[in-house]
Amino acid sequence: MRYTLAELARLTATELVGEGTIEVSELASLARATETSLSFLSHDSRRHELKATQAAAVVVSKALRDDIACGLISDDPYRTYAELSVLFDEKGIPFAQGVHPTAVIDPTAVIAGHVSIGPGVVIGADVVVGAGSVIGPNVTVYPNTRIGLDCLIGAATVIGYDGFGFAPSSSGWVKIRQLGGVLIGNDVEIGAGCTIDRGALDDTVIDDGVKLDNQVHIAHGCHLGARTAMAGYVALAGGTIIGQDVTVGGMTGFTGHLSVCDKVHIGANALVTQSITIPGAYLGGAGGVMKAEDWRKNAVRFRQLDAMARRLQMLEKQLNTQSKDS
């Protein structure tokens, strides 16, 4: 697949620098690029990498206009790279549009047009799958699940299985029947190997534009606000409410029945044990999360604990000596 730079500038609404008739046939990193490659630089601080690249052209910000002889000028090079990746993706979905012959679909399920359902998929009773959605191989969708328009469900994901609910009794555990469902909005992408439980009473809800990495767990009754994104190994306990435009780093856990307001970023490997009500960036570990600037200060102090302890011991000795002398 080949494009001229003039074509790409028009398709991505970017500004052309250099000769528009130059053709490129692939996207590549700056380090791997050749004379037929188009590359990009999303961080101006790495501008020194432009000198060594063999790329025919590079997508850069306005601040780096004078650093390139040929390329595209973008307000957001990373977003432009995302748009270009669609144009250069020759693989597309790994199976044809329609229902694979090995898929098992309950007769009460409603499957809209222009849907791709891969091999080994199982779709239960009263499930609805919206137009343009793609369901990958070996996905299981349990009854009472609604999947919106233009969604992408990765391989081996399970949607709508029982939430983890048991009541203790003198004779053992009594299973709590999960009576809710799962509601998934439009333009939602769920990675491979994810598990999304149905609600115990209220539905588990994933709003429009949510993006989940591989191996994310969403427990019963959670609600993910629009355009929220979560990296791999994130796990939400039951009843967690996440606002809109929230980003969560990998291996972060939520203890459940708490809420996170809109426009929050939580760094990787954190444990969220209480609600977050103020937008901003948060970091933390097993002790819980805190504002990122506070965490960084405390991290510096932690590395100085030994020296601080020694100073404290010296001060104590001095005070003891002074008290004896007096």
| Catalytic residue list | 220
* Residue 31, token pair as written in the block: 């380090």
Determine contact, residues 30/52, Cβ cutoff 8 Å: yes
Determine contact, residues 78/26, Cβ cutoff 8 Å: no
Contacts 24+ apart (CB under 8 A), 38-43: 38/5, 38/8, 38/71, 38/84, 40/77, 40/78, 40/80, 40/81, 40/84, 41/77, 42/77, 42/78, 42/81
Phi, psi angle pair for 9, to nearest 5°: -60, -40
Amino acid at 251: M
Rounded CA separation 59/256 (Å)? 43
Q: Identify the helix (H) or strand (E) that includes residue 182.
A: strand 182-184
